[in-house]
Amino acid sequence: MLYDTSNPLDKANFILRSKKLAESGKVVELKEKKPKRSLPQNSYLHLILGYFAAKSGNTLEYVKLYYFKYLCNKDLFVRQKKDKYMGDTWTVRSSTDLDTGEMTTAIERFRNWSVNEADIYLPSPEDERMLEMAEIEIERKKNYI
């Protein structure tokens, strides 16, 4: 069952329900529901990653992993883990695990880095004409990215 703890009635019901479950002696699960990113946000991300790949001569996978995740958004994506046998290891979080706020931040950082460091302007989500032109560029180079 979902509860909105910003609503006083839901909060009270949540506290009662969780107290009952805590006293039951059973195994229970408690987890926070984060807002998932939107489908348009996901589509936009893949469009600008593809456009950057087309303009820079890299593959989409390379751009997404190394420039978008490691270089621009390491704090959001890269996690250190201690392994019993290997010591410190690193894992990369999937972009599907980000909520809308985190994804907005990640995209903003990538766009800023792209224009300032790579001299590649990535159109904003509102710039429909430039996004159409980016799609055309990606289509032209789809066999290479």
Q: What is the pLDDT of residue 106?
A: 97
Q: pLDDT value at position 51?
A: 97
Find tokens 């706020």 and name the residue. Answer: 101
* Closest C-alpha to 120, from 110, 107, 133, 135: 110
**What integer pLDDT is reported at residue 39 of this predicted model?**
66
What's the confidence (pLDDT) of residue 38?
A: 65
pTM of the full structure: 0.72
Q: What pLDDT score was predicted for residue 28?
A: 84
Tell me the C-alpha distance between 18 and 23, whole Å: 9
Q: What are phi and psi of 35, to 5 degrees?
A: -65, 125
Domain locations along the chain: 1-33, 39-140
pLDDT by 10-residue block (mean), the chain, 145 residues: 83 87 87 68 95 96 98 96 93 91 96 98 94 93 79
Nearest to 48 by CA among 130, 140, 144, 141: 130
